[in-house]
Amino acid sequence: MKNNNTNRNRFKTTKNEDIIRILYKIRNDSNNKFFIETCFFLLKLSNISQRNLNILANLRETNRTIAKNHKFSFPILKEVNVNEMITRDQTYIKGKKRYYDEKHFYKDRAFLLSNDWYYPGEGKIGTKDTKTPLLDWIVKIVNFSDKL
C-alpha cells in the first residue's frame, strides 16, 4: 500500500513540475495577452484567495509582494463593475492603452487584465522583467498537484 501512495505522489510531483515548466515556456514564447490570460485562468483554477486577488488589484501591494528588480507600473488586475460596459477611460492611462478590453470574472467580481508586460527575451538586453516575478509568485502560492 505504501508503494502505491509513493507512486501517486511521484506522479503528482512530475505533473506539478511539468505545469511549472510550461508556465515558464509561456513566459518566453507567448504574446502578452495569452500570458496574462493563462495566469488568470490558473489563479481561478487554484481558487485564489480574496487576499491574493486584492494584492493583484493594488499597485503598492503588487510591488511589495510580487515585484523583484523591476516595479510594476500598473496594477495587474483592475476591478470593474460586473454589469457595466468597459469604457476607454478604464483601459487607457495617460493616453496609452494599459488594460485589455475584455472582462474576466472570478466569483462575483470582474477584472480587466494589464497589458503592460516585459520579458528580456533574446536580443533585448536591459529590458525589465515583469513576467518572471508574477510566475514565481503564482508557483509559490499554488500547488498545481492539488488541481490534477
> In this predicted model, what pLDDT tens digit does every residue of 71-81 receive, in sequence order?
999 999 999 99
Beta strands, E only, the chain: 77-80, 92-93, 96-97, 104-106, 109-113
Q: Which three cell numbers stand for residue 140?
A: 509559490
55, three cell numbers: 494584492
Closest CA to 118 of 64, 69, 56: 69
Helical axes 32-45 vs 131-141, angle rounded to 10°: 10
What is the per-residue pLDDT across 27-68, written as a single tens digit (0 to 9) for each?
887 799 999 999 999 899 889 999 999 999 999 999 999 997
